[in-house]
Amino acid sequence: MKRSLERHLNILEFTLASLLRRRGKNLSLLAMYLLVVFILASLLFFVAALKREAAIILNDAPDMIVQRLMAGRQDLVPVRYAAEIAQIRGVAAVRPRYWGYYYDTLNGANYTIMASDDPALPPESAAIGSGVAKARNLKVGDLLPLTSYNRAPVMLEIHSIFSSSADLIAADTILMPPADFQKLFNFPNSQATDLAVSVRNPQELPTVAAKIASQYPDSRPILKREIQRTYQSIFDWRGGMTLMVLTSALLSFIIFAWDKGTGLSAEERKEIGILKSIGWETSDVLLLKFWEGIVISLTAFLLGVVLAYGHVFFLSAPLFAQALKGWSVLYPSFQLVPVVDLYQITVLFFLTVVPYTAATIIPCWRAATIDPDTAMRY
């Protein structure tokens, strides 16, 4: 037991010395490896952070939303539905919601406009997300000019700006009192965009939803859980698609690694020949190559993960932001909350180190089985 540990230590020491000796060759391999780990790690971290951000926001969403469908498209819901749904057993409260989109011709951005009956929000004022504030260069107390449906100007005083903690969804939001909302869009009085339904016992959600659906054949109840699932699979899908695209990069790296392993330089072959001639056995050389792979893999892996962490959480992932966030032009400046778990690291390990290791098995074995007597034939 002790001897085998000593053997590992001795061979590991020689491995490290050899790696340093062939710095040039190993650095190029390391750089390629690092790049692959870095790109994949950035992608995984970024998608996970987006998923988490969305999950946080959805936590505050109502348990159930009831929409109305008209000719297969979403339509406004009559407000009277709210009172009737409130009568269904198990329903705690029904709240009509008013919201819509506003296209800002000044900078080509879309804002989400919501009516809020919060008494803290006085008439002709608005609470805005940080994205809006930045795009229009606004601070609290400024006036936000909007153009109503008939080109009449609507001026709102900025009452507050949301903190940046929930930036992903709230950045483009403008909250205003219902009266101003009506004025802006000429919204029909007895209708709402959708209904938020809360239920006393979450277990009864599906039953209540089924009742609503049968009572109003034109309605579409959607559960928060379903939205969460949908978001999660959309993010997963996007991440997966990007990963598929990156697979070509991964593949070419593996071919590169294979090539590096197979194409031993004459000097390296000679060195292994010498080692074998002076008493190193095939499994000793395999061990040498194994440690070599471990050292290179771990260095590239750890460095790549650290760099990706900085890239995603400090620099907000400039390489992927456009491809993966892609909702609105308002998002370039939001900071993700740093979070990395062991699971992501493990997945990353499987996507990079394992294929690399597998690709080097045969080249390593080839190198290790050089005949010892070749050293006598130079």
Partner 1 sequence: MIELSAITKSFNSGKPNQFTAVDNVTLVVNPQQITVLKGPSGSGKTSLLALIGCMARPTSGRIFLRGVAAAVPFQQEGMESVEITSLPERFLNDIRRSTFGFIFQQFNLVKGITVLENVMLPAYPTGERRSDFRVRALALLEQFSLSRHAGQRIELLSGGELQRVAIARALINNPSIIIADEPTAHLDSKLSQEFMAIVGRLKGEGKSVLIASHDPIVFDSPLIDRIVEMRDGSVVNSRSCR
Partner 2 sequence: MILQPAVLALLLIALLVSGMGMYAGYYGIRISGAWAPASGSELQLELERRTYLVSTVMSYILSFELMSLFLFIYTAEELHTLFAGAMCAAGTLAVNSFGYPTLLLKIVNFLLAGVWLIVNYVDNKGYDYPLIRVKYELLNLVVPLLVLESVLLCAYFAGVKPDIITSCCGSLFSSESGSYSGDLASLPHLPMQIAFFSGMAITTASGLFFYVKVRAGYLFSIATASTFLISAASIISFICLYIYELPTHHCPFCLLQKEYGYIGYVLYATLFCGAVAGIGVGVLMPFRKVGSLVRVLPAIQRRLALVTLLCYLLFTAIVVWKMAFSALKLG
* Binding at 232: pick from partner 1, partner 2, none (beta carbon under 5-8 Å per type): partner 2
Q: Is 369 helix (H, G, I), strand (E, B) or coil?
A: coil
Those residues whose C-beta lies under 8 Å from the C-beta of residue 44, and which sit 6 or more positions away, are: 239, 344, 347, 348
350-368 as b/e: b if 16+ CB within 10 A: ebbbebbeebbeebbeebb
Q: Any contact of residue 271 with partner 1 (CB under 8 A)?
A: yes
Of 19, 34, 47, 171, the one binding partner 2 (CB under 8 A) is: 47
Binding mask 299-338 for partner 2 (x = CB under 8 A): ----------------------------------------
CA distance 360 to 260: 9
CA distance 168 to 130: 10
Alpha-carbon separation of residue 196 from 79, 131, 217 (angstroms): 12, 26, 18
Q: Any contact of residue 283 with partner 1 (CB under 8 A)?
A: yes
Using a 10 angstrom Cβ sphere, with 0-12 exposed, 13-18 middle and 19 or more buried, the burial of residue 113 is buried
Q: Any contact of residue 358 with partner 2 (CB under 8 A)?
A: yes
Using a 10 angstrom Cβ sphere, with 0-12 exposed, 13-18 middle and 19 or more buried, the burial of residue 246 is middle
* Binding at 358: pick from partner 1, partner 2, none (beta carbon under 5-8 Å per type): partner 2
164 vs 277, beta carbon nearer partner 2: 277
**Identity of residue 314:** F
| Interface size with partner 1, residues (CB under 8 A) | 34
Q: Any contact of residue 375 with partner 1 (CB under 8 A)?
A: yes
Of 86, 222, 294, 295, the one binding partner 2 (CB under 8 A) is: 222
117 vs 373, beta carbon nearer partner 1: 373
CA distance 331 to 322: 9
Q: Which residues pair with 75 in a beta bridge?
A: 68
Q: Any contact of residue 237 with partner 2 (CB under 8 A)?
A: yes
The footprint of partner 1 on residues 15-74 (CB under 8 A) is 17, 21
Q: Which residues bind partner 2 (CB under 8 A)?
A: 43-44, 47, 69, 72, 206, 209-210, 213, 220-223, 225-230, 232-233, 236-237, 239-241, 243-244, 247, 282-283, 286, 343, 346-347, 350-351, 354-355, 357-358, 361-362, 364-365, 368-369
Q: Which residues bind partner 1 (CB under 8 A)?
A: 2-7, 9-11, 13-14, 17, 21, 267, 271, 273-275, 277-284, 287, 371-373, 375-378
